[in-house]
Amino acid sequence: MQPTIQKMCGITGILQRQPDIESLAKNIDRMRDALVHRGPDDCDSWVDHDHGHVALGHRRLAVLDLSPLGAQPMHSVDERYVLVFNGEIYNFRCLREMLRAQGHTFRGGSDTEVVLAAFVEWGIPAAL
């Protein structure tokens, strides 16, 4: 019997001491593209152009929100947080309704967007 191979998104990140936006952009894209087998549906990267120390990359395997609104790296509505995420928040629909009651709006239907709204509403430690 063959084992079932679970596919999942691929995430990459760089944190470097010396600011260098050019090397961040080049290296995060190389890292992200090396994970094409992890997420054939889409890919993107984000580089912190303000400080040049952090970059995030994502290879997408679309599962929950198949639309472009579920693409990552994803920004919170207030633009404070940027997230690449690989996992599943099982109660995200319940959390979404709680956050809607607090005034949050959602563009798509992904659990990643709910995580970002939770960070904004409750802060990272409490949201986690």
Residues 83-116: tens digit of each pLDDT: 998 888 999 999 999 999 999 999 988 999 999 9
Question: Given 6, 8, 9, 96, which residue is catalytic?
Answer: 9
Of 37, 40, 114, the closest CA to residue 74 belongs to: 114
pLDDT at 70: 84
What is each CA distance from 54 to 28, 46, 83, 116, in whole angstroms? 10, 9, 12, 18
Q: How confident is the model at residue 9 (pLDDT cuts 50, 70, 90)?
A: confident
Q: Which residue has the higher pLDDT, 41 or 50?
A: 50
SS3 content of the chain, % helix, strand, coil (to 5): 35, 20, 45
Active site residue 43: no
Enter the pTM of the model: 0.85
Q: How confident is the model at residue 4 (pLDDT cuts 50, 70, 90)?
A: low
Whether the pLDDT of residue 6 is over 70: the answer is: no
Q: How confident is the model at residue 62 (pLDDT cuts 50, 70, 90)?
A: confident
Of 103, 101, 98, 106, the closest CA to residue 127 belongs to: 98
Tell me the mean pLDDT in the region 33-40.
88
